[in-house]
A and B are shown apart, each in its own frame.
Chain A
């Protein structure tokens, strides 16, 4: 009996955790226009930095365009996700350009 009630308690606890997780996810997913604006500005800033290093990626531009399109359609969840994707890509291109400042020398024919 004790074992059963123990299992039930564990099950109840798991259910509560899952419910909380689901609730918090849905709360997180409901992005607003302000969220989009902030995410988009971050992505644009990172891409601008990549531009200064002469190493922007076409995929960053595509993700930025998709983000804008989703925001115009009022789908801010998708818009924020695309903007975050663009920011990650832009940061990767900045890393690449910074790394290559020295790394290119290793490839030179000698």
Chain B
């Protein structure tokens, strides 16, 4: 009996398992349970704000303050993101130089699919966000990629989010250990303090939602990405998820990472997954 192939297979399996174990944050290998994390996450916020329905969280600070909520209702009659939405619709429909369009790159022609992003690509072994998928679509069709933090990307994602409004976030974690690593890395990034001000994402959006930081009312982390992209009065314009992440880092006096770096993609994966079931409300508007 030739045992050599069996030994080789066993060695390869052991090697892969060792690699995956090493890639997980210390002590996490036996404790990654995204479903339990999402349940605890949602439970934390619904307990902290018992008067809010789960779907209210997607409106951020507007759900936490009565005066702001009234302003928001009025603002929504002529929303500040409307111009961006129109621009996105136009951009989305305009064919590339090769005659193809964004619709050719996405399921269902890109309409009503925003709630499925980001997803874990098992071929690549990485998280693919909507912004990244849009730029890859452009590049695959001979177009230059767009800036991840500027108006055109915000306009495209605004239009795609609009076509998904009301659809619940439906982020999947496939049966692939690398997807669990991505989820856990995103969680680690979310809770890790950084920058000279020693803030983590959670310092503001878990520990202090509803409180003021200077003139702002901090949004809860639950549902925070459902409203992306957003028009921010503070920015005087639209902002993508990439812009939100990089500007958060800068505000804590940390040097932001490159937009769509692995860390930010994993962070988006984690934050979106724990908001599963909450409706897409983007594009949104924030003070």
Contact = CB atoms under 8 A, between A and B. Distances in A.
Given A57-B253, A59-B253, A97 B40 contact: no
Given A96-B198, A109-B206, A110-B40, A54 B253 contact: no
Contacts of A92: 196
B255 A61 contact: yes
Interface in A61-110: 61, 89, 92-93, 96-97, 100-105, 107-110
Given A56-B254, A109-B41, A110-B40, 13 more contacts: A55-B194, A57-B195, A58-B196, A58-B254, A58-B255, A89-B196, A92-B196, A97-B194, A100-B194, A103-B193, A105-B27, A107-B207, A109-B206
B44 interface: yes
Contacts of B146: none
Interface stretch (B12-20, B175-183, B184-192): B184-192
B63 to A, nearest CB: 19
Contact of A54 (B196, B198, B263): B263
A54 B262 CA distance: 11
Interface of B: 26-27, 37, 40-41, 44, 187-188, 191-196, 198, 200, 202, 206-207, 250, 253-255, 257, 263
Interface of A: 54-59, 61, 89, 92-93, 96-97, 100-105, 107-110
Contacts of A107: 191, 200, 202, 206-207
A101 B21 CA distance: 16
Contact of B26 (A56, A97, A101): A101
A58 B195 CA distance: 8
Contacts, number: 54
A104 B40 contact: no
Contacts of B192: 100, 104
Contacts of A110: 40
Nearest to A57: B196
A55 B254 contact: yes
Nearest to A55: B194
Nearest to A109: B44
A32 B134 CA distance: 53
Contacts of A55: 194-195, 254
Sort A-B residue pairs by CB-CB distance and give the 8 closest, nearest first.
A56-B255, A104-B191, A104-B192, A109-B44, A107-B191, A57-B196, A100-B192, A58-B253
Given A56-B255, A58-B196, A58-B255, A109 B40 contact: yes
A96 B193 contact: yes
Contacts of B195: 55, 57-58
A55 B197 CA distance: 12
Contacts of A96: 193-194, 198
Nearest to B42: A109
A92 to B, nearest CB: 8
A63 to B, nearest CB: 11
B44 A104 contact: no
Contact of A102 (B26, B37, B196, B254): B26
